[in-house]
Structure 1
Amino acid sequence: MSDSSRITRRDVLKRTSAAAAGFAAAPWIIPSTAFGANERITVGCIGLRNQGKGNLQRFLKAGCNVAAVCDVDSDVRAKAAKIVTDRNRSVDEYGDYLELLDRKDLDAVVITTPDHWHALMTIHACQAGKDVYCEKPLSLTIAEGRRMVQAARENNRVVQTGSQQRSSKEFWTACTLVRNGVIGKVETVLAGINKPNHPGELGPDTEPPAVLDYDRWLGPAPWRNYNEKRVHYNFRFWWDYSGGQMTNFGAHHLDIAQWGLGTDDTGPIATEGTATFHTKGYHEVTETCRITHTYANGVKLIAGQGQKDIPGGTTFIGTKGRIYVNRGKLRVEPEELLEQDVAALPEQLIRSTNHTANFLECMRTREKPICDVEIGHRSATVCHLGNIVARLGRSIKWDPQTEQIVGDAEAQEMTDKAYRKPWSRTQPFATAKS
């Protein structure tokens, strides 16, 4: 390719917002061959187990230069590095994410850690000048989410929340139909979430394995002795690190509810409900729950865990019909409501068929991605409000403008958490790295 015809990253960054609008209709990835050897988007991946490994592979497939990997487990880190080197590419390994963020050659970072690390890493990445792809749920607490939004905006960073359902056709179709009033006025939305799949009784605490930097795994969370059934995948069943299936699957199905309701920039005004917990304490998070969120327009969003009348996924119930959507499933009642050109309806939602590609394209255009940090924060907030009600056993009133729980100091205190020293909720990257 001649110098006059070769596309550079600088050229792509100059694309207008019209190009981003075109991507919304038909996402695309510029292959790595379209750039010079040093002009591909360069990425660092933080957190490399399970979904982290999958994200690493997705960014490699998208043509990114994965130049750095970071994990507090040296075995996991080495296996991830091998995935990169097997493609005849070099990669550096890190046990400390601050060292990775200090690299000047990284355009973006992919954060796939336990939830309690999402906020601090995202904020520091934004302050270090990196765009961020952060897995869902965006935050561990409501206040953390707002700080993440502020960091993204103050540093002009693109931050994509890893709620991949927004990039699947069935969810886009369902929400487009709802937003265009095809099922009439929405009265109720059901969001069915999974029950816990914790491996069972904890057993005795032990010393952490030599390959795991357990102190760094805990990070800002309170100190607890090591137990294999509290770490890695099992982190999601303990309040110190996660919010259970309410934030795990809720961050998917409640997110779709928010999208369909058009409430990506707000939330409910009141939350009530009940929950049960494991009788032997095998985990801390909810075993079952039925949580009702009420919006200012009267719509009820009911999150159900272990509820026979609430199927997994999201169900919109309107005055003229209903729509049920889950991964690979879309049912519309009556069926003839689907016999129309959805893409021709007046209100069109952002369209993406590849969540990674959408993020990379927005890095180039500087447009907001399909699940921007504000959207991820607002959807996580609904999940967190449900957990607060479940844990307290009483209803709360929520002001989505001020993001404060009204008239309940104890509940309001649960919207944030103190960090274990030396980690700090407010220490900027510039001083944290030193």
Structure 2
Amino acid sequence: MQRRNFISHVALGAMGVSLGSSFITKKQGGSNDKIVLALIGCGGRGRDVLSGIVKENENVEVKYLCDVNETLAAIPAEIEAYAKKQGYAPKFITDMRRAFDDKDVDAAVICTPEHWHVLASVWALQAGKHVYVEKNPTLSIWEGQQLIAATKKYKKVLQIGFQNRSAPYAFSARDYIKSGKLGSIVHVKCYNLLGGSKWMPEPDTAVPAGLNWDAWQGPAKSVPYNPNRHSMTGRGGWLDFWSYGGGALSDDASHVMDLARLAMGDPGHPASVYCTGGNVGFHSQKETPEFLNITYQFPNFSMTCESGSCTPYMTKEGREVRYGSKWPYWPQNSTRIEIYGTERIMYLGRHGVGWQVMEVDGKIVDMDKGYFPDKFHQKDFIDSIRLSKAPNGDVTQGHLSASLVHLADIAYRVGNQYLEFNATTERFTNNKAANTFLKGHYRSPYIIS
């Protein structure tokens, strides 16, 4: 069997096309142009993204580490490493606006919970900063509209943390499909089948020492502190609440569906969405569902997504697959994509897994092994600032991918309904109640303006 690589150099070049004279950046030139960063959200993922950006790029410094949880200031090993590398230690702050007001800061790396993503990004853009914001970038379709408008208005780079958009194997999958070697595409299946356990309610408690609970809630409705919503030492359970996130669908499934959209040539909004599911695994009483089965109708193909947290026998691949040469066992790969053509099927995996094309009897005819794409995406962010080019994680495509999450969650929240969607107006045409979910809640002073 011949191992082939279908990376299109033309397509790769197109991802870095210049935005022209209307795109204004503070830094232009080579790697000697210093870029100063501020991290907003110092949890594990935030620190990983920040360290990756510094590692993968030359002449990048960190001036601020910001979190409303003051106990996260106690990361001396990381601060010491930055101090040794750049000659001064980053400052720990609890109000992100201090970093945005500092003219030395060129870019913000935003790794907060989802309900803070857009407001923090807009504040940073208004202050003249470039932005790297983690997925899922938005909490509603309205927020996506605001993020696009702000990025265009302030003419800064905004890279969305859909890292597969910088993966060479994602581009080669797209080019292979476009070549017609799968035949006509009739259906795309996305999977996000993870393990989990029954969600149990906990009583409200006093706010832990060192946490600004009001600031953590930000634009969300103010409620008493509850350990189910927040953890002082880990990620916490905020994804289980509609006020802060979109459940399992906005977590890993958003990556899977974004990769599927890229591979299919980045179609626009679907014309309709239908969703079934609920807390059917452990019968928990949490807000976001344990399992969803979703169908989207695009102009030339249908797409489904099965997403949940009650299938422990499915496997989210480890380092030997994401970083190495090992292939997954596709039937139990928990975050795979199946692309059905009239001639062949493609299995595509996120975050470095790669893709394989099969014919009858499991015969593998083509493939491209991947590599975990964080490093490519993090380098692309700084390159985009220095070269005044569009980032791979483009805000418009990020909005379209995030909207797949919002459309499905809305269909679930209005009672597992079939919803028709107007791609131009970005409103539902057959369900008035669904339109009430297009914009979330915002409380003063945490308001986008």
Q: TM-score range by the shorter chain?
A: 0.7 to 0.9
Q: Which amino acid aligns with 1:376?
A: G
CA distance in structure 2 between the partners assigned to 1:33 and 1:148 by the alignment: 28
1:202–1:66 CA distance, 2 compared to 1 (3 A): same
CA distance in structure 2 between the partners assigned to 1:212 and 1:199 by the alignment: 27
> By how many angstroms is 1:72 displaced?
0.5
1:323 is aligned, of 346, 358, 362, to 346
Structure 1: give runs of 5+ residues left out of the alignment. 1-17, 26-31, 343-350, 427-434
2:53 is aligned, of 38, 56, 59, to 59
The SS at the match of 1:147 is: helix
Q: Which amino acid aligns with 1:47?
A: G
Percent of paired sites with the same residue: 27
- Answer yes or no: is the 8 Å Cα contact 1:253–1:313 preserved in 2: yes
| In the alignment, structure 1 residue 275 sits paired with structure 2 residue 269 | no
> By how many angstroms is 1:321 displaced?
0.8
Alignment map for 1:34-433 (pairs within 5 Å): 35=32, 39-61=33-55, 62-63=57-58, 64-79=60-75, 81-85=79-83, 87=85, 88-195=87-194, 197=196, 200-232=199-231, 233=235, 234-264=237-267, 266-277=268-279, 281-297=284-300, 299-306=301-308, 312-326=335-349, 327=351, 328-334=353-359, 337-338=365-366, 354-392=376-414, 393-426=416-449
- Answer yes or no: is the 8 Å Cα contact 1:70–1:95 preserved in 2: yes
- Answer yes or no: is the 8 Å Cα contact 2:185–2:340 preserved in 1: yes
Q: For 1:365-397, what per-residue CA distance to the aligned partner results, in whole angstroms no more than 9, with x for missing partners? A: 221111111111110001110111122211111
Q: For 1:89-146, what per-residue CA distance to the aligned partner results, in whole angstroms no more than 9, with x for missing partners? A: 3212211111211111111110000000001011111111111100001101111011
> By how many angstroms is 1:332 displaced?
1.0
1:199–1:205 CA distance, 2 compared to 1 (3 A): farther
Q: Which amino acid aligns with 1:390?
A: Y
> By how many angstroms is 1:268 displaced?
0.3
- Answer yes or no: is the 8 Å Cα contact 2:143–2:439 preserved in 1: yes
The SS at the match of 2:256 is: helix
Q: Which amino acid aligns with 1:301?
A: M
CA distance in structure 2 between the partners assigned to 1:177 and 1:325 by the alignment: 12
CA distance in structure 2 between the partners assigned to 1:398 and 1:22 by the alignment: 30
Aligned residue pairs, count: 389
The SS at the match of 1:286 is: coil
Q: Which amino acid aligns with 1:360?
A: I
Q: Which amino acid aligns with 1:277?
A: N
1:406–1:218 CA distance, 2 compared to 1 (3 A): same
| RMSD value, Cα | 2.8
Structure 2: give runs of 5+ residues left out of the alignment. 1-9, 18-28, 315-330
Q: For 1:227-271, what per-residue CA distance to the aligned partner results, in whole angstroms no more than 9, with x for missing partners? A: 12211521112111000111111210110111122235x110000
> By how many angstroms is 1:212 displaced?
1.1
1:78–1:56 CA distance, 2 compared to 1 (3 A): farther
Q: For 1:3-34, what per-residue CA distance to the aligned partner results, in whole angstroms no more than 9, with x for missing partners? A: xxxxxxxxxxxxxxx9x939959xxxxxx995
1:107–1:417 CA distance, 2 compared to 1 (3 A): same
Q: Which residue of 1 aligns with 2:322?
A: none
> By how many angstroms is 1:352 displaced?
9.7
CA distance in structure 1 between the partners assigned to 2:260 and 2:84 by the alignment: 41
CA distance in structure 2 between the partners assigned to 1:352 and 1:196 by the alignment: 24
1:241–1:22 CA distance, 2 compared to 1 (3 A): closer
The SS at the match of 1:152 is: helix
Q: Which amino acid aligns with 2:83?
A: T
1:173–1:210 CA distance, 2 compared to 1 (3 A): same
> By how many angstroms is 1:331 displaced?
2.2
Q: Which amino acid aligns with 2:243?
A: D
> By how many angstroms is 1:407 displaced?
3.0
Which has the higher mean CA deviation after the structures are superposed, 195-204 or 324-333? 195-204
> By how many angstroms is 1:200 displaced?
3.6
CA distance in structure 2 between the partners assigned to 1:244 and 1:123 by the alignment: 23
Q: Which amino acid aligns with 1:84?
A: Y
